[in-house]
Chain A
Amino acid sequence: DGGITQSPKYLFRKEGQNVTLSCEQNLNHDAMYWYRQDPGQGLRLIYYSQIVNDFQKGDIAEGYSVSREKKESFPLTVTSAQKNPTAFYLCASSIDRGGSYEQYFGPGTRLTVT
């Protein structure tokens, strides 16, 4: 059963704590992405990785960090430097179908920081 899994579904943290969100895929996709979605907003790109051991900053990378040690896994750490971390976090993956970059999303993690 192929797909993208994210855990946990809901996460609560105190301000000042770092937190790591998990993203795993068994689709054999090369590229993986992290987005953030705020209420009533579109998706904003945080980080992306097109190959193992390499990743690039997206539009809103400040306060976040990632690693890509395995093709299947792309965890996102929300650090205490992120000023407004409460949001819906979405992981996606894609395979380059002749440059199409169709992306498929995991179920998301809803992070609340108080």
Chain B
Amino acid sequence: DAMVIQNPRYQVTQFGKPVTLSCSQTLNHNVMYWYQQKSSQAPKLLFHYYDKDFNNEADTPDNFQSRRPNTSFCFLDIRSPGLGDAAMYLCATSPEAAGGTDTQYFGPGTRLTVL
């Protein structure tokens, strides 16, 4: 089945220790998104790629970086995690950034714990 896969599902890191979360998709979608979601809050868009074009949200901290080496894979790098970065990180894809019933398809998420 075509899908969005995130690894690992659970990640524990230490304060200040860099961590990388990965996302892959078999949907061949052009657009990939990274969201941060804290308990009982709305997903917060960190950045998205339209193909190889990177779009950073204005309020995304510099501590968060992303790479998309090809259509299928996208990575979220947190350079120096703080306690406030503990959250669920959701990867999503969509065929195009605009128009129609252009739904976003989500991966299962990675829950990050910072000790």
Say whether A and B bind each other.
no
Give the B-binding residues of A (Cβ under 8 A): none
